[in-house]
Amino acid sequence: MPVVWSDRHRRHEPGGEVWVGVRTPGTELPERAERVRVALTDAGARFVDAERHPDEALLEVHDPALLEYLAGAWEDWEAAGLTADPGQDRVVPYLFPHPGLLAQDPPPVPTAITARAGRFAYDTMTLIGPGTWDAARAAVDVALTAADLVLAGEPASYACCRPPGHHATRDCFGGSCYLNNAAAAAARLGAGGDGRVAVLDVDAHHGNGTQAIFYSDPEVLVGSAHVDPAAGWFPHFLGFAAETGAGPGEGANRNLPLAPGSGDEAWLAAVAELAAWARDGGVRALVVALGVDAAAGDPESPLRVSADGYRAAGRVLGGLGLPTVVVQEGGYDLAAIGRLVVEALTGIEEGRA
Ligand code: SP5
Ligand code: ZN
């Protein structure tokens, strides 16, 4: 299947993560996408450069206030002198508008640049530097170009997105994600209005942003298999089985939390359950949010899936026989990420055959 790519991902250098107040090296590195590119090149893949898309497609899934903030966040931070005093070379939030704090909903966008970040960031780990907006915007273009290829008749396409997107909601960002690439692709696939779309998320972490964006939407099924947040894993506050959608979207969200240590058997059973759910829901197009951080060697999750497991999951998802856009999410084991992606994509092609 064609691989959609943008060199602009390299402009996003997170510069680490502030975790429990400490600047740690972080794992969402430019090298991740480069390793995937090399593995796909070796596998003989056909590369397509991302095409620039107007903001309209993005406004289907994001609040204009978030886009406006992210587009200027770095320049505002620098202009406010914060790189010199107190000497912080990335945008880091410090104050968060919790519901219990507020007199206004939605909260105002604060005047102080230091306070503004917390209006949109929900964690301290997802830092903004000079090239972050350009790269995040390019990742959406990658996903939208991949969706366009499928709309033009390709059976499947792979969006090699970086930074990832599935933790970004309509109006806030976190979990190494800024803009929701998979949600933008799903909105694009569903734009014709003639049938439901499914987003099936196999990243090790709950796809909370995608869930939130489509939570009341009966036309986009969102399913996620992930390590149980109740067992102590990000995103901690959601991803539970009881979250099934709201209002007209009731029944259109499905979460399958897995115990830490789960390997191929339990994980593949969950992936198969999500696939059967989408099939029974009568969907006509599929977005696979492909995180490969459920793999055994990944530093960010306790799931123990093998490379063969990713291949088998690909076969299950490809077996649905739907027009499919695969969107890259997490995966932080640099030595394994390339092979894991190749196995998953190969599995999807085998499943379709
Ligand atoms: C897209 C994606 O996979 N995002 C995952 C973000 C989860 N990050 C959670 C990080 C939690 C803190 N990690 C600290 C590691 C210290 N050794
Ligand atoms: Zn993840």
Cα separation, 23 vs 16, whole angstroms: 6
Kindly list the distances between the CA atom of residue 135 and the CA atoms of 60, 161, 178, 265, in Å, as whole numbers in the listed order.
19, 9, 10, 36
pLDDT at residue number 105: 85
pLDDT of residue 193: 77
**What local confidence, expressed as pLDDT, does residue 328 receive?**
99
Q: The pTM is what? A: 0.98
pLDDT at 290: 99
SS3 readout for the chain: CCEEECHHHHHCCCCCEEECCEEECCCCCHHHHHHHHHHHHHCCCCEEECCCCCCHHHHCCCCHHHHHHHHHHHHHHHHCCCCCCCCCCCECCCCCCCHHHCCCCCCCCCCCHHHHHHHHECCCCCCECCCHHHHHHHHHHHHHHHHHHHHCCCCEEEECCCCCCCCCCCCCEECCECCCHHHHHHHHHHCCCCCEEEEEECCCCCCHHHHHHCCCCCCEEEEEEEECHHHCCCCCCCCCCCCCCCHHHCCCEEEEEECCCCEHHHHHHHHHHHHHHHHHCCEEEEEEEECCCCECCCCCCCCEECHHHHHHHHHHHHCCCCCEEEEECCCCCCCCHHHHHHHHHHHHHHHHC
Q: CB burial class (10 A; 0-12, 13-18, 19+) of residue 35?
A: buried
The CB of 221 under 6 Å from ligand 1? The reply is no
For a substitution probing ligand 1, which of 176, 327, 341 has the most ligand atoms within 8 Å of its CB? 176
pLDDT string in tens for the chain (353-residue length): 999 999 999 999 999 999 999 999 999 999 999 999 999 999 999 999 999 999 999 999 999 999 999 999 999 999 999 999 999 999 999 999 999 999 888 899 999 999 999 999 999 999 999 999 999 999 999 999 999 999 999 999 999 999 999 999 999 999 999 999 999 999 999 997 778 999 999 999 999 999 999 999 999 999 999 999 999 999 999 999 999 999 999 999 999 999 999 999 999 999 999 999 999 999 999 999 999 999 999 999 999 999 999 999 999 999 999 999 999 999 999 999 999 999 999 999 999 99
**Ligand 1 closest atom vs CA 166:** 1
Distance (Å, whole) CA 313 – CA 269: 9
End-to-end CA separation in angstroms for the chain? 12
Ligand 1 pocket residue status of 93, Cβ below 6 Å: no
What pLDDT score was predicted for residue 349? Answer: 98
CA 20, 24, 27 angle in degrees (round to 5)? 115
Whether the Cβ atoms of residue 286 and residue 320 lie closer than 8 Å to each other: yes
- Structure-token match 């107190």, residue found: 86
Give the residues across from 295 on adjacent strands: 305
Pocket flag, ligand 1, residue 226 (CB < 6 Å)? no
Ligand 1: centre distance to CA 338 (Å): 20
Query: Any idea which residues carry the catalytic annotation?
Result: 167
